Structures are given as C-alpha cells and as structure tokens.
Structure 1
C-alpha cells in the first residue's frame, strides 16, 4: 500500500496553516539558487551519473574516488536499488527503528527476514552495539543504520560508527549507512561511511539538506567494484540513466556546497534553539536534543492524556489550529511521539505551530 498517504502534499498544503511535518529545509527554486538552465542536450546521460557530479559528491575524501559513486533517483532510489539487488527471501536484514519508511517497506516487500534494533527515548535513541551483535543471524546479509537519525535528529559518535563497521566486516555483512542529513551536523561531521570499508554503502541526496527534492537527485557510494556493477545493472533496469537537467542543477549546487551549508547550518542552529526553548517552557513535553538534520521527535510526558485521547488531539491540532506534524505511527511508534520539521516553515510559522501544539494539548474541546 502507499506509505505516504498522510503526507502534506497528499492532504493538501492549502488546508495547513503551520506545516511542521516536512523533513527538509525550505524548498528552493532556480531563482533562489541563482540558476538559469542552459540549452542542454537532452540525451541519455552517463549511466553512473555525470563524471563531474560524481567527483563533487566525494570531493574532500582521500579514500573515495568518483568511480565509487552511483547517481540515483533520490535517496529512495538508492535504497531501492540496494535492497532489491542484495536481499532475497532467504536473507536477513537488521535495521534501526524508527526509520525512514523506504528502509523498512522495500525489504518487507521482498520478503526477507527482518530484525529491528528499536531505539529508545531513555537511551537517547542511541544504537547499542551488544544488542546489534545479539541480533545478527547466520544469514544476515545487511545491517542498515541512519545517522543523523530520522525522525529524532540524534547522531552517532565516530567511535560507535567504527565499531559497527568493524563488527559487520568481521561477520561478512554489508553495512548500509543512510547519511541523508549528514551535511547538517551541529558538531563535527562524520566521514562518509563508505570511506571506512569496502563492505560499507553510503546513501544520501540533495533533497533534505539542500531543499531541492524536486530534482530527484541522490547517490550511493561503495568501493567494491563488483557491488557497484550490480547496483548499476539495477539502476539501468529502473531508469537507465539520470536526468541531464537534474544532474546539471546538482553540479551547480555541490560546486557551492560549503557556501550554501554555512548559511543553512547557521539558520538551523537558530531554529533548533527556538524548539529547545519551547520544549523547556512546556512541562507536558520532553525530547532528545537533535545533533544533526532538521527534525526532532518530542514525546508527550507519561501520565498526561489530551482531552478525548491522542486521535482527538491530532484532529484538533490540524482542524482547529491548522498545524500538521508527523505522528508517531508514521514511524511505527505510539502517537505520544510526533516529528517536528523545523527547517521547512518560516520562523514565524515554526513559532506559530509550536504555540498551537501547546494550546491543542491543553484544549478540552471535542
């Protein structure tokens, strides 16, 4: 079944006053990026993606080369290629949860065995290495982790990442690291995970941290030549090559990566503090402070139930207060949790939506 039937674009943006459900920064336009598309020849592009773009993706990494990069149709396309080419009904997957739906739904559709590493609020949504060790089975083919994490915004330490890389290498297991939010880190950015081993696959895109989901541009990175041949074969069966226009736009953006990110990270730090101040003032809510990305995952404190229950709260929040958030069931968790995206709305909309949440929690009307 469709997994995003509750997304704001499906519900209708015109029905929402304060949209705090988005998981990217504000949508950019060609004009806001200072771009005008030239008279490009609309041919089949290089199947792996343009050489210039692939060089930009791994620029700054001494361990990675452009040949290690495959350009895909967004991060979702990369995740589909990896799952569909590497997992079968006889294989086993270990995946962090909560997680982005594509990391869960495609393996389910394939029919492989799945074990979840359920991250808890009490642990700060951190991965426990011993739990991972105990979850791996003889037929485990792939371990899938995400950092910075969606929907919590929490990060993984370099020490933990190195431990996971070493464990999966020792067990002969592929390691998928979803790094979609890695470019917006509020402390030191982790290295591209694929640089740490030939069995590691990094996935990312320009959708979330750069605000251009409309060009459908992502990538996967892996240093294993044989694996990359398989991934390319899968891509060719799906869409042969990427869009010349999309890849040109991506080249222009990544060529200004540091300039763009410096402005974005400064603004997102400010917005994170707006949310932090709100959480501190509202005694009904708690959170784990995000260390990257532009989403967070507050929780309604134990012992409080909104008037009419949680379903009534979300209905009231949307239909009376015009505010849309991502309830916990989007991520297979109870609806006492909800995801807030603080990067997409204007600051005024963010502040208005946060006030609305507090008011809707206390509203006793039906």
Structure 2
C-alpha cells in the first residue's frame, strides 16, 4: 500500500523538518503520562483482555465488559472482522477514501466490493440511498469510519440512525471505525455498537491518545455469537494480549476524561490555526473537520508543474511531508494534513511551506 511504502518512518524522519503527514496526536511516553510500570507478572492474560480494561471501555458505551474484545490495535480488530466474516463469495459496502485496512483486507479475501465514494462537493457525506441500493443478499458488512479518516467529517445522528435501521432491515453488519471518536469539536455520536446487536464498533488508543506503540485496540459488539467468533480468531493470532500494554491502557482509560479534555483544548487551537491558514490561501479549499486530528484540503487548480512536482519540491526543498491523495485512492490535488502530531511551530512552518511550494516555480 502506498501509505505504508511512502510513510515517514520509511522515508526517514531525519529528512523531514515539518512532518504534517501523521494521523495522531504527538507520541506520548511513560514519563509524559506520569506512569511507572509495576512489577507485573508476565503471564498469559485473559484471552478477551483484562476485565478491568474491558470495563473501562464498556462504560463509555453503556455496555458490559463481555461486549468488548481487546485486539492488537484497531488494525487487528478490522483484520479479525474481515477474515472471520468475509469470503470470496460475499459482498461488502465500504466508504472510500478510508483507512487502508478497511479496503485492502477485503480485497485480499477476494470478496465483491462496492465503494461509496465520498465527494468534496457533498461535504464528504456518504450517500445513504446509494448504500441502501448497493446492499444485496450477499452483503455481509457495510463499513464506515466516523469521524472519518482522512477528512475529519462526521455523520449526523439522524444519518447514523438511518444506517442502523437500513443494515438491520437488510440483515447485514454495520462496521463503524471510531478510532477518532474522543477528539471532537462540538457534537459527539454515541458508541455505535450501543445502538444494536448487529453493529461493530472498532477503536484504539493510537490516534487520540498518542500511544500507537502500545498496539492496543478493541471491537465492541452486543452479539455473543460474534464475540465467540472474534475471540476464537484472536486466539489463533496471539492467544492473548500483552499484560504490560493492557495495564498501561487501563491507567489511561481510568483517566480518560482528564486526558482527553486537555487534548481537545489543544486540538481546538490547532484546528483554528489550520482554519486561518486555509481562509488566507486562495489556492486551497477544504471541508472543515468535526472530529479527529486530520483534514483533507484540496488544491483549487493544478500546482505549477503538476502535483508530482509540487510534492517533490515540498519534500526536497521545504522538507515538509503531507499525505498525498493517492494514499487514499483520491486525486493528488487532495492531501491529508495532520495537525495533531507536530508542535504548533512545526505546524505553522509546514503550512507556510505548502503555500510556498504551491507557488514555487523552481
């Protein structure tokens, strides 16, 4: 996948001055989180994940620990769902652009895929009528992300309720990737899995909490049958999770409100910085995000020399990195800009570099 091949860690962080390609808040350390790891016994953990951790997750959804399965990041949850629920004879409806795992694992399985292509002109809102018409008797899953990556847009509560009703009536699963749910600018939707037993909520600590190195995610579903299947799949992959990782995750989620309130205050400032920049640069336009720490600006016209030349000089001359549109199967006149990971100074420097590179003739 281009997003992996061209990732900043593959290119080399030492070559980048302004890294605006990351999709999370700044990476945290044990020290920055005020944690010291206890003398933990390194045994096989509860296969579902520790009860305390699952309780800390479930309470936000108004559900029980038995409705939660701990996985190796959101990617692990998505892999388990696709490989256990899809075959080459099945069909999935999935929004695009999307997080790569939501697209590539169904492709690897070889199932039939209908893409719900989100358009700038419609505010990156999915066409619910199109989704309803796309569902066939072979459809196993309708897959969305909310808040959306890479645009930061969010369904209305009415749209989510309609999707819940459509998928229930059509007898298929509704998969909602909620990785950015905790970072919000105003409204927040309920945990989708709380709205029905045919709904799967997937989330992780990677993006909103800045701890992607923990590889800690989860899937929530009220369906006992699906929980049994997902647990069986996890047991074939890893048996259980890391005792250390789950202990750290538990400490974070027990302090969820205080941690996220600080993050949301800071991200609101960052969002205003990006908003001011977009408003002043007549070559760019965007759909303003409602959640998460990424946005997906669009160039109003081809940059000087074309998009390849633009990204080349942006990186080599200005040492600034963003996520080009092809990472998400979109035109390269779009790019994902992550405003949560860099420092404020780096964010300002990177946005200034983008404006210069759009106008540069060298």
Q: What TM-score, normalized by structure 1, do the two folds share?
A: 0.98
Give per-residue Cα distances to partners, 1:270-298, cap 9 Å, x unaligned.
Answer: 00000000000000000000000000000
CA distance in 2, matches of 1:126, 1:268: 23
Q: Secondary structure at the match of 2:122?
A: coil
- Tell whether the 8 Å contact from 2:2 to 2:326 is kept in structure 1 after alignment: no
Give per-residue Cα distances to partners, 1:155-200, cap 9 Å, x unaligned.
Answer: 1111100100000000000010000000111112111000000000
Q: Secondary structure at the match of 1:4?
A: helix
Q: Secondary structure at the match of 1:137?
A: coil
Aligned residues: 362
Q: How far apart are 1:234 and its partner, in Å? A: 0.4
Find out whether 1:46 has 2:43 as its counterpart: no
Find out whether 1:332 has 2:304 as its counterpart: no
TM alignment of 1:182-331, pairs within 5 A: 182-301=181-300, 304-331=301-328
CA distance in 2, matches of 1:274, 1:98: 25
Q: Secondary structure at the match of 1:141?
A: strand
CA distance in 2, matches of 1:2, 1:361: 23
CA distance in 1, matches of 2:136, 2:315: 44
Q: How far apart are 1:61 and its partner, in Å? A: 3.3
CA distance in 2, matches of 1:99, 1:286: 20
- Cα RMSD over matched residues? 0.8
Q: How far apart are 1:3 and its partner, in Å? A: 5.3
TM alignment of 1:170-185, pairs within 5 A: 170-185=169-184
Q: Which runs of 5 or more residues in structure 2 are unaligned?
A: none
TM alignment of 1:2-13, pairs within 5 A: 4-13=4-13
Q: Secondary structure at the match of 1:293?
A: coil
Q: How far apart are 1:347 and its partner, in Å? A: 0.1
CA distance in 2, matches of 1:137, 1:214: 39
Partner of 2:115: 116
CA distance in 1, matches of 2:256, 2:316: 39
Q: Secondary structure at the match of 1:339?
A: strand
Q: Secondary structure at the match of 1:95?
A: strand
CA distance in 2, matches of 1:61, 1:293: 19
Q: How far apart are 1:2 and its partner, in Å? A: 7.4
Partner of 1:89: 88
CA distance in 2, matches of 1:36, 1:9: 27
Q: Which runs of 4+ in 1 moved over 3 A?
A: none
CA distance in 1, matches of 2:334, 2:319: 19
Relative to 1, partners in 2 of residues 1:253 and 1:348: Cα closer, same or farther, differing over 3 Å? same
Give per-residue Cα distances to partners, 1:224-245, cap 9 Å, x unaligned.
Answer: 0011000000000111100000
TM alignment of 1:142-161, pairs within 5 A: 142-161=141-160
CA distance in 2, matches of 1:347, 1:59: 34
Partner of 2:75: 76
Q: What TM-score, normalized by structure 2, do the two folds share?
A: 0.99
Q: Secondary structure at the match of 1:194?
A: helix
CA distance in 2, matches of 1:98, 1:182: 18
